[in-house]
Structures are given as C-alpha cells and as structure tokens.
Amino acid sequence: MQYAWFIWSLILLVIWLIVYISLGDKDSKKEMLHVSLWTSLLGLTEPIFVPEYWNPLSLFDLARKTGFDIESFIFAFGVGGLAVIIYELIFKVKHKKIPIIERLKPRHKYHLQILFSAPLIFFALLIFTDLNPIYSTFIALMGGGFLTWYCRPDLKKKMIVSAFTFTALYFLYFLTLIVIYPGYVEQVWNLSAISGILIVGIPVEELMFAFGLGFFWSSVYEHIMWRKI
C-alpha cells in the first residue's frame, strides 16, 4: 500500500484530463485549468490534516516525515478543477461580464470579505476550537458557500447542482481506492478521531468534504472574475 495515495491521485488526474479534453468551450477549459492551478496550492495545508485526520503512506514517506506530500498537490489540483467545471460539463453555458453598474448594488458591498470568508472561517475554527480539521473544512466551505449565495444569488443553481453531482463523482472515485486497496481506509484514516461512520467503506467526512467543495468551489471563478452564466 506504499503507493496507494500516489496511484489514487493519478487516477484523479486522469479523470481531470478526460473532462478537460471533453470540454468544447475554450472559456470553460481556461476556467478549469486556472482554478485547478490555484487550488493545487491547498496542498500546503496537508500538515494540518496529518495525522489528526489521516496518516497516509506517500512518495518518499514525506507525509509521515514532514506532513507535506506530493500527492496532496495533485489531489487538490484535480478536485478543484472538477468541482468548478462539473456543472458546465452537464449544461452548456456561456459567461458574460457583469456590468459595473450592477457591481455597485448593496449586496456586493462585502464582495472582497465574502471571497475570503471560507479560509477565515476555517482558521478561526482551527485556532479557537478543538474540532477535527475536516469538520472545520466542511463548515468553512458551507459557510463560504452561503455567503457567496447572498452576494451572488444568480449562481445558486450551479452551486446546488455541483454539490450533488460532485459528491456523486467523488463517491465513485473513492470506490476505486476501496476496490484496489481493501482495508486501506481503516489503516490510514484516523477513524477514532472522527465519527467512524463508513458508507460503503467511505468515511462520511469524505462525502461531506465533497459536498462542501462542490457547493462553494463551483462559484469561485464567476465570483472572483465578476462573470455570470
């Protein structure tokens, strides 16, 4: 099981590549690639989760030695791009720039603060509570998502559909890990520190993460770039 985390990350990268190639619209490809590149930086947060949430074997055993690992950057790259683009994979959409006059509406007054709300919520929970970081992540994603919803109600359909479809995709993706490496979850995840609830062998926290990511992350491109569908 030494290379399970690495192989699993590569599987995600293959899924990402298939989706990227299947996108016919150049703007959607640009959106997916840019969001993936920025999301890959979240790999830097891996020491927060090791070993509190899980403790995977990784290339050169980096995760257990340093908290960092190469696989986390690959994983973050993959899930970021898939979460933001899955709606556009189902529905053919076009983006258009939001006019300046519309940006001056009262609901956009806290545009910048809302953009940074998710990481602020996450680190506040991390510092001031004893919650496992995976729960802080879920709360931050949902909190950031609902605040985005307030600022950009036009994105609510994309956010809701993306939350459910990305969770379904992630569920199927996680099953590949269970099939290839039976018992891996019990060996690597710190089940005693979380709920210990498994759905078809998948920690429920993983599905919560997928739902939160699909809900919030699907809106980041349009929100940051002042685009609407």
Q: Is the pLDDT of residue 3 over 80?
A: yes
- Which is it for the CA torsion 204, 120, 63, 132, positive or negative? negative
Q: 27: which 2 tokens?
A: 């703007």
What pLDDT, in 10s, does the model give residues 67-86? 889 999 999 999 999 999 99
For 189, the 3-state DSSP assignment is strand
Task: Note the pLDDT of residue 102.
Answer: 83
Q: 182: which 2 tokens?
A: 């039976």
Task: Note the pLDDT of residue 178.
Answer: 94
Task: Note the pLDDT of residue 131.
Answer: 97
Q: Are 19 and 85 in contact (CB under 8 A)?
A: yes
Q: Which residues contact 37 (CB under 8 A, 6 or more apart)?
A: 77
Out of 12-16, 95-99, 213-217, least confident range: 95-99
H helices of 45-116, where?
46-49, 62-66, 70-90, 100-103, 111-115
At 209, is the pLDDT very low, low, confident or very high (cuts 50, 70, 90)? very high
Cis preceding-peptide flag for 133 (omega within 30 of 0): no
Going along the chain, which residue ranges are E strands?
96-97, 198-199, 202-203, 227-228
Q: What is the pTM of this model?
A: 0.94
For 24, the 3-state DSSP assignment is coil
Q: Is the pLDDT of residue 112 over 90?
A: no
At 217, is the pLDDT very low, low, confident or very high (cuts 50, 70, 90)? very high
Give the angle 203-204-205 at the CA atoms, nearest 5°.
90
At 110, is the pLDDT very low, low, confident or very high (cuts 50, 70, 90)? confident
- Pick the most confident of 14-28, 96-110, 130-144: 130-144
